[in-house]
Structures are given as C-alpha cells and as structure tokens.
Structure 1
Amino acid sequence: MSFSAVTKSELARVVGQRSCCRLAELAALVKMDGSIQLSGGRQLSLNIITENAAVARKIFSLVKNLFGLQTEVLVQRKNRLKKNNVYLVRFPPQQGMSEILQRLGMLDGTGRLKEIPPSAMLRRDCCRRSYLRGVFLGGGSVNSPEGTYHLEIVTGSEKFAEVVTRLMNRFSLDARTSRRKNCSVIYLKESEHIISFLNIIGAHSALLNFENARIYKGMRNRVNRLVNCETANLNKTVNAAVRQIENIELIRDTLGLDNMPDSLKETAEVRLKYPDACLKELGSLMQPPVGKSCVNHRLRRIEELAEKIRGGKL
C-alpha cells in the first residue's frame, strides 16, 4: 500500500468533534469528488466517487450523522490501467435535497452552483483544518518520504484551487499552484511544510512515519557525504605521497640524496621509509620533531628540485 493510501486510511478514521467540523469535511469531499445530477421532475441527486474504500465509508458515516440519510454505495471495477475498485456514494432524489446541497456549499440560495465554499463554513480554525482534511481525502496525494518530498492536491477548478491555496497559507505552509493539462495542482515541496500539513489535518501516525524516514534519509545522506569527503581526502593524500616518492627517487637516482641539505635529505629518507604516513606523522618522526607546515615546506622544495631536474636545469 502506498504512503498516500496509508495516510488516507488514517485520516478516514479521524472524526471531527463538532458538527460544524464534520460538515466542513463532508463539504470538501463533495466539492472534490461530487457531482449533482438533475433527474426527471427537476429532482436533485448527488453522486460522490472515490477509489478509496475507507473514504467511501467515511462519506457514508458523515452523511448519516449529519443528515440522517441512508445513501446508496455502489462498487464498480475499472477495466483499464490499475483495474481497481471505484466506490460510488449516491444521495438519491428526496425531499430537502436542495437545502442539503446549500448547507454543503454546492448551491447558493437561488439554486445556482457555487465554485467556492461559504466563508461562514471556514470561520473557525477547527473547521478550516477539517475542510483541508476533506480536500486531501478527495484529491490529494503525498510521496513516500524515502523519495522526493512532494504533496499535491488536484482540482478541476482554478478558482477553488486559489481558495484552497490561501486556506493552506493561513497556516504558513507556502502552498503554490500550477496548471497541469486541464487541472489546477496545489503543491508543497518542502519536507517541513508537508509535516506541518499532515499535523494540521490530523494524520499524526503518517507524520511520525514521514519524520522517521526523513531523519533516516538525512543521516544516510550525511554519512555518504562524510564517506565521500574522507575518500576524496584519502585519494588526495595517496596521490600526493606517490608524487613525493617519485620526486625523491628521481633526485636519488640523478643528483643523489647526499647532495641535498640535511633537512631535505632527512625528510626524503623518512618519506621513503614511511610512504603511507601523513604529514603530521612524518613530522613526528623527524629528529627533532617538526610541525606539519614545516614538512609540507620541505616537500615543496624537494618537488621544485625534481622539476628542475626534469627541465634539464640541473
């Protein structure tokens, strides 16, 4: 099961404490996945389609709790692509359907469709959180934290996407919107913002799993960087030592080590004897011991002498 599916299964079990919160969440689900059908005799019905069984159960429960209605739940199997089940929750035509749709923010007082939710529905902070939970359940997804950090909500209405973006940014989430074909996509890229959003909508277990994976991923990346750095430093040290030994052997075979100053001769002999030692270790083997910078200075002088030999100047 994907991280998104696990997160939605958790959110489907979250129940708002107030009836206004439950109404806000159901309104968001209806806005994201619902469609109004006008049948004969101008009777209204409402269909809500979801691919998540837990979300379908939640819609059924919210409708029964808020309006005392019995809804129809139909299960269909897709014949293409993933071939998974699709759940249709249907409000059959009945008395008072227009008032229910008005309470859900789908219709205004004149019976016209509304693109944005009524401001009264989102007056309280708890209702705003519930509405965002419903929006995510209806059209959201979040990548596994083991990969790239990405959370998005897809809607067909550009105006509604702007409302949801502003609503998310009231919680300092830095949500942004882009167009993808005929849809508007609200997205979060930063891991901190995704964690905050999961906390806002009540996905606390998913939040902990996300945080654990993020910490593990960060530690693994840090260890890899340290290993790469140590490897680079080691390669640099080995290459420098090989070059130094080549210089010393060239001087030995041409000019002779005895013809160098005593300090350079001692340094050359110690380097030949201890080819794997670092500069600090070489300095401690001198008599008397010298510092790392002194050893480095002597080796540079040896290299200059070898370059003169290679250039035929000696």
Structure 2
Amino acid sequence: MSYAAEVKNELTRLPVHYEHAKAELAAFIRLNGILKKIDGEWLLNIETENATIARRMYTLIKRHYEVQSEIIVRKKMKLKKNNVYIIRLRSGSQPILADLKILDGLLYHGGIPKEFKEDDQKARSYLRGAFLARGSVNSPETGRYHLEIYSPYEEHNNDLLEMINHFHLNAKSLQRKNGGYIVYIKEAEKIADFLRVIGAVNSLFKFEDIRIVRDMRNSVNRLVNCENANINKAVNAAQEQIEDITLVDEMVGLHTLPTHLKEIAYLRLENPEASLKQLGELYPDKKISKSAVNHRLRKLRELADTYR
C-alpha cells in the first residue's frame, strides 16, 4: 500500500462532528460527483477507487439525508483495471447539493462557500474531503516531498489555495497542461503541518520519523564524505611535500639547508602521515604552530621549484 493510501485509510477512520461532516462531504462530492439527468430523473454518481472512502461517504450521506442510495462496484477496463466504487443517489440529489452549497437551483457554485472557509473546523473537514477525493502525497522515503490536490475548476482551486494558506502552509498553485488545476506543497515541514490540519496524526508521525532518519543519515554521509575529502587532501599534500624534500636532497643535500628548513624536512620524511599540527608538536625543544610548519614547507616547495 502506498503512503498516500495509508493516509487516506487513516482519514476514513476519523470520527467527525455532525455539522463538520457536511464540509467533508461537500468537498468530496464537488470533486468526485457527476450529476446526470436520465429519463427525466437527476442521478448523482460519486466515484472513488478506494473501498473505505466509498464506505465513509455512503455512511455520511445516510447519516445526514434521507435519500435512496446504493453502492455499485465496477472494474476499470483500462490500465490497472482497479475496482471503481460508485455511490449512486437515485432521488433527492438536488436538495442535497443545495444543502451542501454546490448547487443553487440549477446554477453551479464554482467556489467554496464562506460557511466552510470562515470556520476553522469546517475548513479542516473540507480539506480532508478534498484530499480524500483528489489528493496525493509522496512517501517521505523518496526524499521528494510533494503533496497536491487536483481540482477541475479554477475558482474552486483558488479558494482551496486560500483555505490551505489560512493555516500558513505556503501552498502554491498551477494549471495543468492537460486540464485542471492543482494546489501543491513542496516543503516537508509544511506537508507535515497539512497532515496535522486534516487529522492524519499517525501518518504525520510516520512522515516525521522517516524524514528525521533520512535527514540524519544524509548529514552523517555529508560529514563522512567531508572527512574523507580532508584526509585525501592531507595525504596528497604530504606526498607532494616529500617529493619536494627528496628533490632538494638530491640537488644540494638537506644538510646544506638552514636549520629551520632542515628540521621540518627530516620531520616530514620521518612522519609522512602526520598532519601539519602534529608535525609542529613533534619538535623536540618547543612546539611550533601549524602556520609556521606550513610556511617552512612552502619555502621547501619554492626551493624545489627552482630545480624543476
């Protein structure tokens, strides 16, 4: 089961206040409902590929409205051939759509009603319904953090963006090339906050656990890589210094050098793996600084360059 499916399954098990449930139902029907007129009768089909979501929506409808309804299961004929669950309302669909502020007579309301936007709890329920209908979220294990909700209507998409950002989630919106619009969140922390807003607490904990472990592993890898790079750099530098000293020894002999250069030359030859700081601490009389060691080795490099 994908992470997005786990989130949705958790959401279907959440208890919801009687009035707030209407906001969830309104969002789901607006995004996944199809109203048809057949033989003079208006039929409302509400579709989903998730059985637990279909059961939740069917239960919410039966709890709030006295209406003839049924669940039909069909198999898709293309691609994965998943089951499609259709909640069909054979009568009384128009009053329900009017009560949910989706229709005004036969006029369609493009945006989200103020009643749902201006009440925090109803807004949370509406976002939950929208995510159940057309939402998706990447697993945090991929490291590509992305959550989105699709809407075929521009006005509804804009209101959805406003509603999400009311909770300071830094969501953005774009129009898809093949039609419709999406509201999306890219920041890991904001995705976690969105899961908290819609009530997916267990999914939030899993998201954060995976993200923290992943980020810690990445930090450790960066530190190890940096340390390895520093070690390789130091080894290469020491090898070059030994080559310089060897060349000077062959050309004029180390015994001819000034005392301070002769001392550092012998110390480097005797301690090829020592760092500059360690070389400074190996002086018998008194320690010298790392910068002093580096200066003396640079002098040897300049001397060796004159013989190259």
Please say whether Structure 1 and Structure 2 have the same fold, judged by a TM-score greater than 0.5.
yes
Q: What percentage of aligned pairs have identical amino acids?
A: 45
Q: What residue number does 1:3 align with?
A: 3
Contact 1:20 1:121 in 2 (8 A): no
Query: Which range moves more in the overlay, 49-58 or 110-119?
Result: 110-119
Shift of 1:70: 4.7
Shift of 1:119: 1.6
Shift of 1:60: 0.8
SS in 2 for 1:88: strand
Q: What residue number does 2:153 align with?
A: 157
* Aligned pairs (5 A) from 1:123-272: 123-147=118-142, 148-180=144-176, 181-272=178-269
> Partners of 1:70 and 1:248 in 2: how far apart?
95
- Corresponding letter in the other structure for 1:145: P
> Partners of 1:66 and 1:261 in 2: how far apart?
97
Contact 2:169 2:193 in 1 (8 A): yes
- For structure 1, which runs of at least 5 residues remain unmatched after alignment? none
> Partners of 1:102 and 1:52 in 2: how far apart?
26
> Are 1:26 and 2:32 counterparts?
no
Shift of 1:121: 3.6
> Partners of 2:73 and 2:96 in 1: how far apart?
24
Give structure 1 regions of 4+ aligned residues with deviation exceeding 6 angstroms: none
> Partners of 2:192 and 2:116 in 1: how far apart?
25
Shift of 1:69: 3.5
Contact 1:122 1:128 in 2 (8 A): yes
- 1:126-172: CA deviation from partner (whole Å, max 9, x where unpaired): 00000000000000000001220000111111111001001111111
Q: What residue number does 1:119 align with?
A: 114
> Are 1:14 and 2:14 counterparts?
yes
SS in 1 for 2:26: helix
- Corresponding letter in the other structure for 2:181: S
Q: TM-score normalized by structure 1?
A: 0.94
SS in 2 for 1:146: helix
SS in 1 for 2:240: helix
- For structure 2, which runs of at least 5 residues remain unmatched after alignment? none
Contact 1:24 1:122 in 2 (8 A): no
- 1:23-66: CA deviation from partner (whole Å, max 9, x where unpaired): 0000000011001111223x222100101111101101101111
Shift of 1:75: 1.1
> Partners of 1:231 and 1:251 in 2: how far apart?
30
SS in 1 for 2:73: strand
Shift of 1:71: 2.0
> Partners of 1:255 and 1:70 in 2: how far apart?
105
Query: Which range moves more in the overlay, 30-39 or 97-106?
Result: 97-106
The count of residues paired between Structure 1 and Structure 2 equals 305
Shift of 1:106: 1.9
When the two chains are superposed, the root-mean-square deviation of aligned CA atoms in Å is: 1.2
